[in-house]
Amino acid sequence: MIIFKSINKLKKKVNFKANIGFVPTMGALHKGHISLIKSSKLKCQKTLVSIFVNPSQFNKKNDYKKYPRKLNRDIKILKKLRVDYLLIPKVSDIYKNKKNMKIKISKNDKILCAKYRPGHFEGVLAVIKQFLSKINAKYMFLGEKDYQQIYLIKKFIINKFNTKIIPCKTIRLKNSLAYSSRNFLLSKIDIKKASSISKIIKRFYLLTQKNFKNIDRINDLKNKIKSQNIKIEYLEIRNKINFSKKINKSNFKIFISFYIKNIRLIDNF
């Protein structure tokens, strides 16, 4: 595995005319990331992984500081997976000035995480723009746990970059909680509590698939979750294709953001 600490050196040394898969991460790698890497290795000749904790997508400084960083462990994992290239850039290498750190999104898109984390996706799109302007990968692999993120990135890069996005299924613990780097900040008891929320939502989703009339019981679902002393940031049902509220049995998706202590978790079914 070749490690690059400069995106410009990476651009000079790597032949992007080849079939290259790109997996952007913020590190603290888990089984979700590993599944993305394995998907890339199956589809592409070479796989590039980036580890960059992007400051512009954090709307709280404390959240950025607390975000788990496990670089030595991550490098060992990537070497075991036989990843071809690893990019670990500095902030100054990605952003030349503060203007580059945000991309505006439309008012219509300021829903769910975009509403409750102002500036978050503006920062995500900014880093994707900086990456793809130098990394001309054929494919980029992203996890469906961040479903809204995939939607906004797809919308942003169309007609701008040739890279094709490959969405990959959410990987879950046996107890149904989605793998997340933030899980490293939770205790075993917290993980158990978060898992119970995922189970409740999954059960509601499956019942609604069988009988769409269950959709009207969303407030009962909210109350059930709140009864476990969980702070819900949002719990919404939206169209999985365009994020509108025009839903039917085949296009509905449940989105949730909630807190376990001070740790923010998201999920969708």
Q: Is 193 exposed, middle or buried (0-12, 13-18, 19+ CB in 10 A)?
A: middle
Joined together, the tokens standing for residue 74 give: 């991550």
Q: Which CATH architecture has domain 2-168?
A: 3-Layer(aba) Sandwich (3.40)
Q: What is the pLDDT of residue 93?
A: 95
State the Cα–Cα distance between residues 230 and 260, nearest whole angstrom.
Answer: 7
Q: What is the pLDDT of residue 98?
A: 87
For the chain, state the CA radius of gyration: 19
Q: Report pLDDT digits (tens) over 142-196.
A: 999 999 999 999 999 999 999 999 999 999 998 799 999 999 999 999 999 999 9
**Active site annotation includes 33:** yes
Q: What is the pLDDT of residue 36?
A: 98
Q: What are the start and end residues of each CATH 3.40.50.620 domain in the chain? A: 2-168
> What angle, rounded to 10 degrees, do the helices at 218-226 and 188-210 form?
170
Among residues 40, 39, 31, 22, which one has the least CA distance to residue 171? 31
Among residues 171, 162, 112, 184, which one has the least CA distance to residue 144? 171
Q: What are the start and end residues of each CATH 3.30.1300.10 domain in the chain? A: 181-268
Strand partners, 4: 87
**Of all residues in the chain, what percent are helix, strand and coil, respectively (each to 5)?**
45, 20, 35
Which residue is catalytic, options 30, 33, 138, 238?
Answer: 33
The tens-digit pLDDT sequence of the chain (269 residues) is 999 999 999 999 999 999 999 999 999 999 999 999 999 999 999 999 999 999 999 988 999 999 999 999 999 999 999 999 999 999 999 999 988 999 999 999 999 999 999 999 999 999 999 999 999 999 999 999 999 999 999 999 999 999 999 999 999 998 799 999 999 999 999 999 999 999 999 999 999 999 999 999 999 999 999 999 999 999 999 999 999 999 999 999 999 999 998 999 999 99
Is residue 169 within 8 A of residue 144, CB to CB? The reply is yes
Q: What is the pLDDT of residue 243?
A: 98
**Tally of residues, the chain:** 269
Strand partners, 257: 234, 266
CATH 3.40.225.10 is the classification of domain 181-268: no
Q: What is the pLDDT of residue 1?
A: 98
The answer for residues whose C-beta is within 8 angstroms of residue 140's C-beta and 6 or more apart is 21, 22, 23, 24, 132, 163, 164, 165, 166
